[in-house]
Amino acid sequence: MPVETTARHAERPGEAQHADPADALRMLRPRHAIANHFFNEEGTRYGIYDGIRETYDGPLSMATDMMVWNITKDEITERMAVSPDEAWDVPGEDKPLAPDPNRKSELNAAMAKGRMDVSAANRQMVEQFMKQHGLTKSDLDPGN
């Protein structure tokens, strides 16, 4: 099956880009680091743990399903959730509300200030992709 290659496809990885964990920990210095969104199993966890420990020596959780953190101003407590083995959704009586297009962002000022600008990296990746595939900026126009 042929693979569709467009400039828009080149942009997608950058939009969901992951920061390098070592760089993030060097910059952020969290009270308690949580490694998540990885396959926490025998073949991967130790390499990830060792990589984190190269730049961070503070409290660390290697997250698993059902792990919960209770966070207060004074402490962070890690625990496992207690739940029945087979819990199912219970339908509500009403339909869910539609998203409110006027709702303000939930990012507070500190979170917004800490955003990393990755536009230059994205732009470089898209330009390289466009050159490789003979595309122009007009190819990015969704109306085409």
Query: 56 lies in a domain?
Result: yes
Mind listing the pLDDT tens digit for each residue in 96-117? 778 888 888 788 888 888 887 8
The two structure tokens encoding residue 93: 């009586």
37 occurs within a structural domain: yes
Q: How confident is the model at residue 4 (pLDDT cuts 50, 70, 90)?
A: low
Express each pLDDT in 19-28 by its tens digit.
Answer: 667 777 878 8
pLDDT at 1: 42
Q: Is the pLDDT of residue 87 over 50?
A: yes
53 inside domain: yes
User: Higher pLDDT residue, 114 or 60?
Assistant: 60
**CA distance linking residue 40 with residue 18, whole number of Å:** 17
Instruction: Decide if 97 is inside a domain.
Output: no
More confident of the two residues 70 and 14:
70
> Does residue 54 register a pLDDT over 70?
yes
Phi-psi region of 37 (alpha: psi -120 to 50; beta: other; left: phi over 0): left
Asked if residue 72 is part of any domain, the answer here is yes
* pLDDT above 80 (res 140): no
Question: In this structure, are residues 65 and 81 in contact, taking their beta carbons and an 8 Å threshold?
Answer: no
| Assigned domain for 63 exists | yes
| 102: in domain | no
Q: Is residue 134 part of a domain?
A: no
Q: How many domains does the chain have?
A: 1
Q: pLDDT higher for 117 or 54? A: 54
Residue ranges making up the domain that contains 54: 28-80
Q: Cα dihedral sign for 108, 110, 114, 55? A: negative
